[in-house]
Amino acid sequence: MEAAKAKDEEHYRDELSNVDKKGKRLWIFPKKPKGGYYKARSIVAWALMALMFAGPFLKWHGHPLLLFNVLERKFILFGFPFWPQDFKIFAVATLVGIVFIVLFTVVWGRVFCGWVCPQTIFMEMLFRKIEYWIDGDWKQQQKLQAMPWNGEKIRKRTLKHTLFFILSFVISNTFLAYIIGIDELSLLVTDGPLNHLGSFFALIMFTGVFYFVFAWFRELVCIIVCPYGRLQGVMLDKKSVVVTYDHVRGEPRGKINKKEAQENLGDCIDCNLCVNVCPTGIDIRNGVQLECINCTACIDACDEVMVKIDRPKSLIRYDTVEGVEKGEKWKLSGRSIAYSSVLVLLIAVLTFFIVTRDDVESIIVRTYGTTYEYQGKDKISNLYNVEFLNKTFKNKEITLKLENNDHDEIELVIIGGQQFVAPPGEQSKGTIMIIIPLDEIESNRFTVPIGVYVDGDKIETFEAGFVAPVID
């Protein structure tokens, strides 16, 4: 009996809120949210959208502030160019990203999903608002959905989907501008799509994907597709801060008008408002669920109810499951501090790599398969391959100088020139020869220090291995 009851209470874990028993999609019509959290989320969302849409137009010294050109492997972060050769930095940055996501989620749950995720922001703050504006609130939307195709429905659907398509087109332009740069994207307009077929097809494809996602797929992205959402089950625990229902205070729930039994009831009056506003269609009173994107709409809805019935707010709130069960206030735990310390350490390592990163990366190695050569009877030479990668946006002049060569007894000859010029983002290669008088040589293997100077400033000293004949 107990087992059957428990199974019945847990039934929501075996089914999706937006799919019926036959597997058919149930369209969700969330009630328009309002309240303090919604206002705060709107401010954050508009600020982030302003940043995102302005991003491709922001430049630093004539170059985009942010660029993620995976096709040509060009990356610009806050005006600084990064190349695939900056592997070390990318590796640590990826590690920071992963650790950040995991640790942040373990401590703060899905705050990212509700406040920062582009899917939530575009869906709830742009597309959904257009829908409320054209179709009305949830009840009118349900009515419109059920009504046969008449003049009103055709007009509203045409207007809504036209606006959805235009918005998807604008978002995909912005998205593409982050990949190929705003200048390249402008050429699509000035030269015509036929001259930039690749970019044009990418634009059409992105527009189609965004339109599909925001007009139809919607919450299914969070529930079915998003890997971050799928990982919640293993990352969250009882100490994670999530949007949660205080079942200790709220249960047993019951309608407020049952006056006789009122003293035995909890604070939840079973009004269902928290369910009606939920964009993923779940009932937060069932506990933490994979579908919950922590959008806070149910907090606002319940707070409004609590104010109306003169009970304390925060029956649904940000809290830990443990906090609700024990009735304790959330405080920073040792675990959170330890996790955050690891993250701070990784960020420090990343910052160190970025700050100490040279404008030019250089390699000097003895030419493969060669050994020493006599230059006349009294001098020995070794041949070296040199490579320079210019990681900046400007041409760089690179000079090589022998260090500790006060009496000019050792010669450095650049084959075919005096210095190297590395174009922006490209490699410059060449060959050099080091010639040493025999009477300066004391062993058959030693190193010669070569200074690498970029635009007159020394960036590093290479110890180039030198081989010579065995001296008796």
Residues contributing to the site for ligand SF4 (CB under 6 A): 243, 245, 250, 253, 268-274, 277-280, 282, 284-285, 292-298, 301-302, 305, 315-316
Q: Which residue, 81 or 279, is less far from ligand SF4 as judged by CB? A: 279
CB 434 within 8 A of CB 464: yes
Cis peptide before 56 (omega within 30 of 0): no
Q: Minimum distance from CB of 167 to ligand SF4 (Å)?
A: 23
Q: Which residue, 229 or 250, is less far from ligand SF4 as judged by CB? A: 250
Q: Distance (Å, rounded) from C-alpha 435 to C-alpha 68?
A: 45
Q: Minimum distance from CB of 97 to ligand SF4 (Å)?
A: 25
Q: Which residue, 67 or 284, is less far from ligand SF4 as judged by CB? A: 284
Q: Distance (Å, rounded) from C-alpha 156 to C-alpha 145?
A: 11
Q: Minimum distance from CB of 360 to ligand SF4 (Å)?
A: 50
Q: Minimum distance from CB of 62 to ligand SF4 (Å)?
A: 44
The neighbour count for residue 270, using CB atoms within 10 Å, is 14
Q: Which residue, 237 or 439, is less far from ligand SF4 as judged by CB? A: 237
Q: Which residue, 73 or 238, is less far from ligand SF4 as judged by CB? A: 238
Longest dimension (CA), the chain: 116
Tokens, residue 207: 């527009």
DSSP 124-163: IIIIHHHHHHHH-SHHHHHHHHHS-S-HHHHHHHHHHHHH
Q: Minimum distance from CB of 291 to ligand SF4 (Å)?
A: 7
Q: Distance (Å, rounded) from C-alpha 173 to C-alpha 397?
A: 38
Q: Minimum distance from CB of 427 to ligand SF4 (Å)?
A: 51
Angle made by CA atoms 104, 109, 114, in degrees to the nearest 5: 105
Q: Distance (Å, rounded) from C-alpha 63 to C-alpha 166?
A: 28
Q: Which residue, 37 or 384, is less far from ligand SF4 as judged by CB? A: 37
Q: Distance (Å, rounded) from C-alpha 132 to C-alpha 163?
A: 13
Q: Which residue, 64 or 323, is less far from ligand SF4 as judged by CB? A: 323
Q: Minimum distance from CB of 211 to ligand SF4 (Å)?
A: 23
Angle made by CA atoms 189, 194, 199, in degrees to the nearest 5: 65
